[in-house]
A and B are shown apart, each in its own frame.
Chain A
Amino acid sequence: MPRRFRWTVPYLFLVPGGLWLLAFFVVPMVVMASVSLQQGSLAQGYAMTFNFGIYAETIARWSSQFLRSIEYAVIVTVLTVLIGYPMAYTIAFRGGRAKNILLLLVILPFFTSFIIRTLSWKLLLADNGIVLGTLKEWGLLDSGFRLIATPIAVISGLTYNFLPFMVLPLYVALEKVDPRLIEAANDLYASRVQGFLRVTLPLSLPGLFAGSLLTFIPAVGDFVNAQILGSPDTTMIGNVIERLFLSNNDYPQAAALGFILMAAILAMVLVYARLIGSDKLTTG
């Protein structure tokens, strides 16, 4: 390639990804934006009326499901950090020879469909199933006790399903931390706790950030866990969208909800990035 065209190379590398996103992200987005502003019905067809009012209506109508989804997703993200950080830390610093096996174990659940795994939870934790039924027979639990169809079940299911998405980025970040930096901190009279807080934790922030995004964003929009493990009182915004789209054929409202969800997530991610500090994320 002639020297004067060399500047185009990085852009050429972006072409396949760019086209892909154009076809499978931008175009569907435009169609959905259009659908959200249309009015009509299945038999009459939908026509564009620029009905922006639907956004206000939709927010007002589904605010409680919205807040619940965000609440669940925040709890899930915090739980995955609390469970996943020690896991990733141990694998990165103490894994030794077992490192690869431990990592394989983390991703092993992906070898089967997460729907199957969530359904098996439902069987395991059934009111009179293997676990609860046995405990009830021993008199350790009240006969009316249940886990399925409660918020606890939904949040546990989400936490379980998204844990690997937290552990893997954290592992990658922690793996890169140079142990000599921690030694240096200790040499300079930092306690182990101080060393962790002043050296390891800040260096793992990019992993923490990536992990929480990978957990929080899909968790807000998830509908499978609430559908399988939940009850009418744990309905999340994903369930509402799914129902509006597939059962009620109310495409405009469903599309509008999708955009509101996207905007809300974007806003929250920006605030989060600010709080952590974007300089720390890029310089790592």
Chain B
Amino acid sequence: MPDDPRQPDAIDAAIQRAFEPRRRLSRRAFITQAGRGGVILGGALSLPAILAACGIAPAGSRTPSGSTGGSPTPLPTKAGIVNFANWPAYIDIDSKTKTYPTLEKFKKETGIQVNYVEAVNDNEEFFGTVQPDLAAGNQTVWDLMVLTDWMIERMVRLGYLAPLDHAALPNFTANADALYVNPWYDKGNTFSAAWQSGITGIGYNPKLTKRPITTFDDLLDPAFRGRVGMFSEMRDTMCMALLSLGIKPENATVDDVKKAADKLKKARQAKQFRNFYGNDYYNELANGNLALTIAWSGDVSQMRLADNPDVQFVVPQSGGMRWVDNMCIPKAPKHPTDAHAMINFWYDPVNAKTLSEYIGYFSPVKGVPDLIRKDAAAAAAKGDKATAGALTTKAAAVTPSPEALKNVYTYKVLSEAEERQWNDLFQAVVTG
């Protein structure tokens, strides 16, 4: 249905379509058929007609409403709650009281309660859980979600996101770092604002590998058989494998992907991989079930502080992937005003600093490194050298160094046909 105009009442149309049998029988045909079979069911209610009526309407338009005009509907009054879906280990947490200090601060400042849920383990998996509601035009349970750049691109394409009201985001306008403004996956930040950014590389435990890890092919070294982790997200795993073949993901053809899939498949058949993980690889690496694995940069720096000081992160010589995770609001949100307040809150440099001091990814907010250095100086003045040292290291790590940016790549924008081919090839790798 290429020229289907996607208006707000398109959902009504879709519903009507769904109840309208495609193969409508003329009255005459109905009578003949009913007469022949002698059963009503033979006619308008025939199984094929019922089956045909269950077609699934297209997910959204090519040009989702709001993306061109950029004029979101005015925000309603604050509801006092925001349902926030984020990834595990992605926020500051007070390990003693099991509370989130910055969210407490947000509540104190705005009176909005945050229902913070670590609901995202894998972009595709999460997408699968919200897709039926979004496609049907229903409200999801979320007001705010953190998803990776390529997923934002897809959700925008499918018309699943609500446009942001930038008038309600003065902190974003004032403090967003240039690297995160007007990104390739969402021109003009119409639908998204960066949460954190990082690099997909390799995490390893030198005590278990007994040698330094430098490149992707180390993950395929038979010496580590059964103690290697891969990601269940097709893009990260495939792109890392592509890079190991010297192919830039942006330029990869389906043939290239076949080669990469073959390489991974051979290793899987040799029982090289323990499993394909979502964010749950974190515990497996921390507790030593995995000796080395594809990993996200900030997870490893957090693991070194909190769970396992031995673990190292490395951008493989063959190359790593740079990604940006973004806050976004699903279409037809329950509490849009509260969600905007939350986004705006995180672009306050002081709040962003608190977050960065804890999680160690790249911050999209200007001035964060300076604020961390200030804290380091304050700690040094108090004589707390350990904290001061840790903070100084952090301050350098929250913005990517030019060297780090040299050997990292971004994902390819996949057409739906391509995505299906890539997925099929990857599925054959994952399932034995």
List A residues at the B interface (Cβ < 8 Å).
30-31, 33-35, 37-38, 40-48, 50, 62, 64-65, 126-129, 144, 146, 148-149, 230-235, 239-240, 243-251
Contact = CB atoms under 8 A, between A and B. Distances in A.
Given A126-B287, A149-B275, A246-B127, 4 more contacts: A45-B1, A48-B51, A128-B288, A232-B431
B22 interface: yes
A233 B57 CA distance: 36
Contact of B125 (A30, A64, A128, A246): A246
Nearest to A236: B431
B48 A126 contact: no
Contacts of A245: 128
5 contacts: A41-B417, A231-B226, A232-B276, A232-B430, A247-B122
A37 B271 contact: no
B287 A128 contact: yes
B37 interface: no
Contacts of B271: 231, 233
B54 A31 contact: yes
Given A42-B158, A146-B226, A240 B59 contact: no
B51 A34 contact: yes
Nearest to B234: A247
A115 to B, nearest CB: 13
Contacts of A234: 432
Most buried by B among A47, A128, A240: A47
B129 interface: yes
A205 to B, nearest CB: 37
Contact of B273 (A37, A144, A232, A248): A232
Contacts of A149: 226, 274-275
Contacts of B353: none
Interface of B: 1, 22, 48, 50-60, 122, 124-125, 127-129, 131, 135, 157-158, 226-227, 232, 234, 268, 271, 273-276, 287-289, 416-417, 420, 423-424, 427, 430-432
Given A38-B55, A44-B1, A149-B274, A127 B288 contact: yes
Contact of A232 (B1, B57, B432): B432
Nearest to B122: A247
Contact of A233 (B55, B158, B423, B432): B432
B51 A30 contact: yes
B289 A148 contact: yes
Given A30-B50, A232-B268, A232-B273, A46 B56 contact: yes
A35 B56 contact: yes
A248 B423 contact: yes
Nearest to A146: B226
B416 A126 contact: no
A249 B57 contact: no
A236 to B, nearest CB: 9
Contacts of A240: 431
Contacts of A34: 50-55
B157 A43 contact: yes
Nearest to B426: A248
A228 to B, nearest CB: 9
Contacts of B59: 42-43, 45
Given A232-B432, A246-B129, A33 B416 contact: no
B125 A247 contact: yes
Given A43-B59, A129-B287, A243-B431, A232 B51 contact: no
Closest 7 pairs between A and B when the two form their complex, measured CB to CB: A246-B128, A45-B58, A34-B54, A46-B56, A247-B124, A34-B51, A233-B432
Contacts of B131: 42, 249
Contacts of B287: 126, 128-129
B158 A43 contact: yes
Most buried by A among B54, B124, B128, B129: B54
Given A43-B157, A44-B416, A248 B124 contact: yes
B67 to A, nearest CB: 15
B128 A249 contact: yes
Contacts of B129: 246
Contacts of B420: 41, 248, 250
Contacts of B52: 34, 48
Contacts of A230: 275
A48 B275 CA distance: 36
A233 B271 CA distance: 8
Nearest to B62: A43
A280 B56 CA distance: 47
Nearest to A245: B128
Contacts of B432: 64-65, 231-235
Contacts of A232: 268, 273, 275-276, 430-432
